[in-house]
Amino acid sequence: MATHSSMSTVGSSPALLRRMNSRAVLAELFRAGPDAGDPGRASRTVTELVAAVGLTRPTVEAALTDLVAEGWVEELKAVATPNRAGRRARRFRIDARAGLVLGIDLGLHAVVGVLADLHGDAVARTEQFAPTLAPIDQAVAAVREVVDRLVGNLPPGRLLAVTVCVPAVIDRAGRIVHTVAAPEWQSGGITDRIAALVPDAVTVFENDAKAAARAEAAWGRLHGVHDGLLLVMGRQIGAALVVGGAVAQGAHGAAGEVGGLVATGWPAAARALEARTGPGAAVPSAGDDGRAAVRALAADVAPGVAQLVAAVDPEVVVVGGEVLPDGEEFCTALAGELERMPGLGLPGTPGVAVVPSGLGRDAVSRGAVARSLATARAERLGLGAGQHAGVA
């Protein structure tokens, strides 16, 4: 297990330079990524690291000694190379299990938790369902159950960072400042109560739709997209915007937060869906009832989606949320509704593509894992801004 005492502030100049150098080497080893069954692909030799970070060989070797001692890096066992003589090259890689991160998707009816290693690869996953999690006590209890299952037996210090994604506006200070879905969460101290469940970890909160968009941009159907739109569709309805290749946040964290606007039709659409399915019931799928429910939802939300499409002019609209079991049906219906809307789009141009998420139900929790990784690397491993370059 990694020892985190080495992350403390360094006082002397030589020690500071040595720390900067070790962070430069650590950052380069992270760029190598997970091994995916091929340790050679994920590891680097000392010679390769010297070339990559621009430091002298003794400096890199000293940095590696420090990183191995801290527990973040491991040296691979030397493997004989056929038909080659001489000393075998030493290879190093990230010890991905030296620390863990947790991503949590806290919705109104379920909590999904994903525990991942330092490369973001899932170690464990669990879900906790409930008729409603709008009351703060029930939400905290459900999160506690998920946390206990995933990290209850971990030794202190092993969990580095936690991100909790919620259907709410999160400001730049990480506070819940507005939520239509669960108003009690705004004033009930939910962030402090959840953070207290994992006192050794850095805990942050993020909007669920923005987290899903970040995951889609990294691994899904928004990857490489310059301008796109992510929709969360079901009993919870939300949106996130990708503008210029980045997830738009807005001055107050409220970019894309149109779900509460009556003019979009979305508040009524969520109520109508619940009326069709019953309070607390899942959206039906794989049958006539499911197809009818998602087609009706597509018609109800189309006016609001059209407003966002007109504002962003996206290359693609990606749909996630509870409709995913009938995602193709919903996307086809929504695309048809948009095509029939007068004045939407430019004459002679094709209608916007509407496609289901490629990440499935875990888009939000995977986005939470991505945020937790960024937090862990910046705040626990010392890979924040300005610490990627070294000094020989």
What are the angstrom distances between the C-alpha of 213 and each of 56, 81, 221, 353?
Answer: 41, 44, 9, 16
Instruction: Determine the pLDDT at residue 41.
Output: 57
CA separation for the pair 382, 22 (Å, rounded)? 10
What are the backbone angles phi and psi of residue 282, rounded to the nearest 5°? Answer: -70, 155
> Measured on CA atoms in the order 323, 328, 332, 335, is the torsion positive or negative?
positive
What are the angstrom distances between the C-alpha of 68 and each of 54, 246, 297?
Answer: 20, 35, 54
Domains of the chain: 4-94 (1.10.10.10), 100-208+363-379 (3.30.420.40), 221-358 (3.30.420.40)
What residue spans of the chain are helical by DSSP H?
A: 13-31, 39-42, 46-53, 57-70, 136-151, 184-187, 190-195, 208-219, 266-277, 288-312, 327-339, 363-379
Instruction: Determine the pLDDT at residue 9.
Output: 42
CA separation for the pair 15, 11 (Å, rounded)? 7
CA separation for the pair 335, 170 (Å, rounded)? 30
CA separation for the pair 9, 331 (Å, rounded)? 52
Q: What is the pLDDT along the chain (392 residues), one digit of tens a residue?
A: 555 444 444 445 888 999 999 999 999 999 887 765 555 558 999 999 999 999 999 999 999 999 999 999 999 987 655 555 556 789 999 999 999 999 999 998 899 999 999 999 999 999 999 999 999 999 999 999 999 999 999 999 999 999 999 999 999 888 999 988 899 999 879 999 999 999 999 999 999 999 999 999 988 999 999 999 999 998 889 999 999 999 999 999 999 988 888 999 999 998 999 888 776 556 666 566 768 889 999 999 999 999 999 999 999 999 998 898 889 999 999 999 999 998 888 777 788 999 999 898 899 999 999 999 999 999 999 997 444 333 33
SS (H, E, C) 55-85: CCHHHHHHHHHHHHHHCCEEECCCCCCCCCC
Q: How much is the pTM?
A: 0.83
CA separation for the pair 6, 248 (Å, rounded)? 35
Which DSSP string do the residues of 289-327 spell out, in sequence order? HHHHHHHHHHHHHHHHHHHHHHHH--SEEEEESTTGGGH
Token pair recorded at residue 160: 């580095």
- The phi-psi region of residue 133 (left if phi > 0; otherwise alpha if psi is between -120 and 50; otherwise beta) is alpha
* Helix then strand then coil, % of the chain, to nearest 5: 40, 20, 40
CA separation for the pair 204, 184 (Å, rounded)? 19
Token pair recorded at residue 23: 């962070």
CA separation for the pair 259, 145 (Å, rounded)? 29
User: Looking at the DSSP assignment, which residues form a beta bridge with residue 114?
Assistant: 103, 125
Instruction: Determine the pLDDT at residue 386.
Output: 40
Q: Percentage of the chain with pLDDT > 70?
A: 88
CA separation for the pair 388, 85 (Å, rounded)? 35
Instruction: Determine the pLDDT at residue 187.
Output: 82
CA separation for the pair 79, 54 (Å, rounded)? 26
Q: Are 68 and 98 in contact (CB under 8 A)?
A: no
Instruction: Determine the pLDDT at residue 38.
Output: 57
